Amino acid sequence: MEVAIVGAGIAGIATAYYLGIEHRKSSVFLIDCRAPMSYTSAQSGDNFRNWWPHPTMTAFTNDSIDLMQSLAIETGNLFNMTDRGYVLATRRADIGDLVAQTGASIDIEVFSTRERIRKNFPALSNDIRNVIHVKRGGDFSGQQLGQYMLERFREAGGKQVRGEVTGIRNGDGYSLEVDCEDGKRIVQAEVVINAAGPFVKHIGEMLGADLPVKNVYQQKLAFDDKLGAIPRDMAFSIDLDEKRLSWTDEERALLAEDADCAWLTGTMPAGTHCRPEGGERGTWVKLGWAYNQRPSEPERDLLNETSRDPQFPEIVMRGAAALLPSLTPYIQTPPSRFVHYGGYYTMTTENWPLIGPMGPANTYVVGALSGFGSMSACAAGNLCAAWVCDSDLPEYAAHLSPARRRDPQLMAELESATSKGLL
């Protein structure tokens, strides 16, 4: 059986890995017009967690973390998987709903007194009244993990094709037209797997499938923390509260007058997050805030995206300083060395992935991985490979497949959920 995978991001690579290593398929073509892992997968914060508002996503990410942990053991932790967990901080006194939301299968510890919060999370702002520490979480190097899986895939006989899939014809099997540097090439395959990240809808259309996804651009700021504001052993920390940014009266008045900036004076969404990058001896810090909600068409060059907000570095610094006051000096004197970057969250409205049969015979999708594609890649690839090879599927397989969209009861439940686990 010949299999063509379109896309060599973390999803396509993980699928190729499980097809080649677990299912011993040797005729697998991994096609990409870019270098492997160089598009969305290169923008990831590489954080992982099993904290989700729905048990399906918890089971899915738990499986992925299990798979990553076994690869970490196999490789001597080549991809630097850590286990500091996630720190969820709030100024709310009553967090009963948040604790209930985490469900029984998520190991958490709650810190509710000022003394315990200060002792365990000294960098957090004094107004934080409750902290939920989600134990099963941390970070890892997605690039190293992807590279390792890619090498193993190649050793198992997998083939890579560098070129853009411009059309797919269905006759006796599938013929994929691939625009390569040295001209057009046709790749023949019985099975096509769509792992095209933000272009998953486009590839779906080539096969006659209409995938219900949108792309929303989200940004990050990485900077050299010369002031040593963030403790090097701080866990990934998230502000669970909506907030208004701290402007002087004069700044606020100026912003309010400008139609493009007035929104910055209003209530901003929750979810500002921060963690040190590069280990205990490093000096860099990453900040993120997925506040953009406007979908856009994916740009080939991620820096050309119109939703890219030149004010983001200042906005995210102001947001993060509300949780971590030691960042406040950077508001007046921004870091001298920083990188402002971003990529698309390719997502369904319910923020669950699409993994499984795509519609047309022998076509599959592994996509819509939103802001959780690095952490879930192993389970996503393993699941997609199991669908292709008709082997045992986990209980959540039907929930994560495109077919769930035909279940009105499930969809109504998911669409009406107050939290969709978006960070």
Phi and psi at residue 402, in whole multiples of 5°?
Answer: -55, -25
**Contact, 355 vs 401, CB < 8 A?**
yes
Element (H, E) at 338: strand 338-347
**Contact, 64 vs 18, CB < 8 A?**
no
Phi and psi at residue 390, in whole multiples of 5°?
Answer: 55, 40
Q: How far is the CB of 200 from ligand FAD (least distance, A)?
A: 7
| 9 in contact with ligand FAD (CB under 6 A) | yes
Binding string, residues 135-164; x marks residues near ligand FAD by CB under 6 A = -----------------------------x
- Considering only CA atoms, give the Rg of the chain: 22
Closest CA to 13 of 83, 79, 82, 76: 79
Interface residue with ligand FAD, options 4, 7, 117, 324 (CB under 6 A): 7
Interface residue with ligand FAD, options 3, 87, 149, 165 (CB under 6 A): 165
**Contact, 380 vs 11, CB < 8 A?**
yes
- CB of 225 or CB of 277, closer to ligand FAD: 277
Scanning 29-37, 99-107, 320-328, 405-413 for contacts with ligand FAD by CB under 6 A, the matching segment is 29-37
Q: How far is the CB of 332 from ligand FAD (least distance, A)?
A: 26
* Contacts to ligand FAD from residues 340-369, by CB under 6 A: 342-345, 367, 369
Alpha-carbon distance of 280 to 320, in angstroms, equals 20
- CB of 39 or CB of 111, closer to ligand FAD: 39
**Contact, 70 vs 219, CB < 8 A?**
no
Q: How far is the CB of 43 from ligand FAD (least distance, A)?
A: 4
Alpha-carbon distance of 163 to 177, in angstroms, equals 9
| Strands (DSSP E) found in 21-172 | 28-32, 47-49, 86-90, 108-111, 130-134, 137-139, 159-162, 164-171
- CB of 80 or CB of 328, closer to ligand FAD: 80
Interface residue with ligand FAD, options 41, 58, 348, 363 (CB under 6 A): 41
Interface residue with ligand FAD, options 5, 12, 207, 396 (CB under 6 A): 12
3-state SS class at 253? helix
Token pair listed for 94: 């009553």
How many of the chain's residues bind ligand FAD (CB under 6 A)? 42
* Contacts to ligand FAD from residues 211-230, by CB under 6 A: 218, 220
Task: Return residues touching ligand FAD (CB under 6 A).
Answer: 6-12, 31-34, 39-41, 43-48, 164-165, 195-199, 203, 218, 220, 342-345, 367, 369-375
